[in-house]
């Protein structure tokens, strides 16, 4: 007697559901620029959407809880002189956001916790190094203040936004770069390019360590993302213009681990990856559906789970980090679907009867603390993300100011701060030395008390704005 065996997986019955109308964000004029980016970025505190604006580029930043109709005069983040093409929230500070534009620059912004009362036009730092429009910005997953930008000049630049200076650059791509994705510890990134090649790059060695010609045979744009175990998930088109997905081992690019044809459509499939569940959500521009798959070690390796369908086509999509989902409702992902004039959150839920915390659905996830400093990463160190527990839900930390320390190029003899041990104390009279030490201690105490006062005021302001929104 034969018996069919159903694959066991806790994610087999994940279902998508759009939120109620009053929990959407209405009257948002989503950008109409012809660029294949997601136009949306989200974190546990804020939602950012690239919008139409006259006289340059702008994007809208809203507190995540501020749903409903958006006032047409709501202040925007303005500063770019050309249309904004891509935005990305810093994984280590929920108030820091990077943007890039057709004006050949990237900018880093500090978004205040309180609601904006006037347009924000002063970035913390402007990154100038590209000769053509900048289409991609991507933060390093584990190192503080490391930002990657890629432009239509086929150049990739890696910046330290703490100093505003470029650290590394790569010019190995002969044509337009479609997408870039860091691996889990930020030691490598993969790129797709108009020359139809998939590349794996080591930025600190400034070299391409692996490449594959035409992982998808079609000439339309491809996308690629690293999975948590080091494989690469790609989307593209067949020679007959059918959409296709693939899974590849970068140490052996000869044959794909999996290759699956999907459907016939023109929209580029944007992949969003959940490293904790090892699931991929595919959102096509112009589609009205979201397909989701589970990646496993068992054949056929990429398992189709289900499709969320709706009536309205999507203009773009945002993907909430795992620390922003609602663990009390067994929500494992939340996507923010952009329509022409609104943003609609879509929750992905695992049906469970119990109201208790589900350990198997929520392993420790990447937290907001960086694992290393920029200098350590540049020196060759690699660290996985610092994990946090989801058991009590996630509480965002208070805002930390991003300080940019620029070097003075005119100062040929930089002054160095000498430690007390380096001072020649023998040359000072005992009374003067004692007085100096006492004055230093008093100044330190004053600074500490002022810092505490600033923290208390920031917390009061945050509580006040959250309570009055």
pLDDT surpassing 70 at residue 398: no
The answer to whether residue 4 is domain-embedded is no
The answer to whether residue 219 is domain-embedded is yes
Token pair, residue 257, equals 């681990």
What is the model's pLDDT at position 2? 46
Residue for token pair 């309205």: 312
**CA distances in angstroms from 362 to 89, 167, 407, listed in the order given:** 22, 36, 44
Q: Give the gyration radius of the chain's Cα atoms.
A: 24
Token pair, residue 81, equals 């002189």
**Residues 170, 180: contact at Cβ < 8 Å?**
no
Give me the CATH number covering residue 260. Answer: 2.130.10.10
Residues whose CB is less than 8 angstroms from the CB of residue 200 and which lie 6 or more positions away in sequence, other chains included = 188, 189, 190, 208, 209, 210, 211, 232, 250
The Cβ of residue 454 has, within 10 Å, a number of other Cβ atoms equal to: 11
pLDDT surpassing 70 at residue 334: yes
pLDDT surpassing 60 at residue 468: no
The answer to whether residue 460 is domain-embedded is no
pLDDT surpassing 60 at residue 348: yes
Q: How many helices (H) and strands (E) does the chain have?
A: 2, 32
Instruction: Please calculate the CA angle 455-457-461 and round it to the nearest 5 degrees.
Output: 115
**Residues 10, 360: contact at Cβ < 8 Å?**
yes
Closest CA to 407 of 395, 415, 417: 415
pLDDT surpassing 70 at residue 315: yes
Alpha carbon distance 213, 156 (integer Å): 20
Alpha carbon distance 250, 102 (integer Å): 32
Token pair, residue 278, equals 């090892």
What is the model's pLDDT at position 408? 44
Task: For residue 407, name the pLDDT band (cuts at 50, 70, 90).
Answer: low
DSSP 399-427: P-PPP-----TT-SS---PPPGGGS-GGG
**Torsional sign, CA 37, 100, 247, 326:** negative
Instruction: Kindly state the helix (H) or strand (E) to which residue 378 belongs, with its residue range.
Output: helix 374-378
The Cβ of residue 445 has, within 10 Å, a number of other Cβ atoms equal to: 10
The answer to whether residue 168 is domain-embedded is yes
Residue for token pair 């990154």: 127
> How far does Cα 405 stand from its chain's mean position?
23
Q: Could you read off the pLDDT of 197-217 as tens digits, one per residue?
A: 999 999 999 999 999 999 999
pLDDT surpassing 60 at residue 465: yes
DSSP 30: B
The answer to whether residue 21 is domain-embedded is yes
Alpha carbon distance 432, 435 (integer Å): 5
Alpha carbon distance 84, 105 (integer Å): 10
**Residues 179, 223: contact at Cβ < 8 Å?**
yes
% of the chain surpassing 70 pLDDT: 90
Alpha carbon distance 461, 115 (integer Å): 11
What's the domain count of the chain? Answer: 1
The Cβ of residue 151 has, within 10 Å, a number of other Cβ atoms equal to: 23
pLDDT surpassing 60 at residue 421: no
Domain range for 351: 13-386
Q: Could you read off the pLDDT of 29-77 as tens digits, one per residue?
A: 999 998 889 999 999 999 999 999 887 899 999 999 999 999 999 999 9
What is the model's pLDDT at position 395? 65
Task: For residue 187, name the pLDDT band (cuts at 50, 70, 90).
Answer: very high
The answer to whether residue 120 is domain-embedded is yes
User: pLDDT averaged over the chain?
Assistant: 89
**CA distances in angstroms from 48 to 187, 265, 319, listed in the order given:** 28, 28, 11
226 has which bridge partners?
232
> How far does Cα 420 stand from its chain's mean position?
42
What is the pTM (predicted TM-score) of this model? 0.84
Burial of 381 (0-12, 13-18, 19+ CB in 10 A): middle
Alpha carbon distance 240, 218 (integer Å): 7
The answer to whether residue 86 is domain-embedded is yes
DSSP strand pairing (77-80 vs 40-42): unpaired
pLDDT surpassing 60 at residue 137: yes
Task: For residue 463, name the pLDDT band (cuts at 50, 70, 90).
Answer: low
**Residue 55: CA atoms inside 13 Å, Cβ hemisphere, count?**
4
Residue 223 or residue 36, greater confidence: 223
Alpha carbon distance 34, 36 (integer Å): 7
Alpha carbon distance 215, 319 (integer Å): 26
Residue 299 or residue 89, greater confidence: 89
Q: Could you read off the pLDDT of 227-281 as tens digits, one per residue?
A: 999 999 999 999 999 999 999 999 999 999 999 999 998 899 999 999 999 999 9
Instruction: Kindly state the helix (H) or strand (E) to which residue 248 belongs, with its residue range.
Output: strand 242-248
The answer to whether residue 81 is domain-embedded is yes
Q: Could you read off the pLDDT of 79-88 as tens digits, one per residue?
A: 999 999 999 9
Closest CA to 297 of 372, 228, 373: 228
């Amino acid at each position: 007697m034969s018996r069919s065996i159903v694959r066991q997986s806790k994610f087999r019955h994940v279902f998508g559901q759009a939120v109620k109308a009053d929990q959407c964000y209405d009257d948002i004029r989503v950008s109409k620029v012809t660029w294949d980016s997601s136009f949306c970025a989200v974190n546990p505190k804020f939602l950012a959407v690239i919008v139409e604006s006259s006289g340059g580029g702008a994007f809208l930043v809203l507190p995540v809880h501020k749903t409903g109709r958006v006032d047409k005069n709501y202040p925007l983040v303005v500063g770019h002189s050309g249309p904004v093409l891509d935005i990305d929230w810093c994984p280590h500070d929920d108030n820091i956001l990077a943007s890039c534009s057709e004006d050949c620059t990237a900018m880093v912004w500090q978004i205040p916790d309180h609601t904006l009362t006037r347009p924000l036009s002063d970035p913390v730092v402007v990154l100038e190094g590209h000769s053509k429009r900048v289409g991609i910005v991507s933060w390093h997953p584990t190192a503080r203040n490391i930002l990657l930008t890629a432009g239509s000049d086929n150049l990739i630049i890696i910046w330290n936004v703490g100093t505003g200076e470029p650290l590394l650059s790569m010019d190995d791509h002969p044509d337009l770069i479609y997408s870039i994705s860091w691996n889990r510890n930020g030691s490598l990134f993969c790129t797709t390019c108009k020359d139809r090649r998939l590349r794996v790059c080591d930025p600190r060695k400034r070299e391409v360590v692996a490449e594959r010609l035409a992982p998808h045979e079609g000439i339309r744009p491809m996308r690629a993302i690293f999975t948590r175990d080091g494989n690469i998930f790609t989307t593209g088109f067949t020679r007959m213009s059918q959409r296709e997905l693939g899974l590849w081992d970068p140490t052996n690019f000869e044959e794909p681990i999996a290759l699956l044809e999907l459907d016939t459509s023109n929209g580029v499939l944007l992949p969003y990856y959940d490293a904790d569940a090892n699931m991929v959500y595919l959102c096509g521009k112009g589609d009205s559906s979201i397909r989701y798959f589970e990646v496993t070690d068992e054949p056929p390796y990429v398992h189709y789970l289900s499709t969320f369908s709706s009536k309205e086509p999507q203009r773009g999509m945002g993907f909430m980090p795992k620390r922003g989902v609602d663990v009390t409702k067994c929500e494992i992902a939340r996507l923010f679907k952009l329509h022409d004039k609104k943003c609609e959150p879509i929750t992905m839920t695992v049906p469970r009867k119990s109201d208790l915390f589900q350990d198997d659905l929520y392993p420790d996830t990447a937290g907001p603390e960086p694992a290393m400093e920029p200098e350590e990463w540049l020196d060759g160190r690699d660290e996985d993300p610092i994990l946090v527990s989801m058991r009590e839900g996630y509480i965002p930390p208070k805002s930390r100011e991003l300080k940019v320390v620029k070097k003075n190029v005119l100062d040929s003899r930089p002054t160095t701060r000498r430690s007390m041990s380096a001072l020649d104390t023998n040359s000072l009279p005992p009374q003067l030395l004692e007085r100096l030490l006492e004055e230093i201690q008093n100044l330190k105490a004053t600074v500490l008390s002022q810092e505490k006062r600033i923290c208390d005021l920031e917390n009061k302001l945050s509580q006040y704005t959250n309570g009055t929104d």
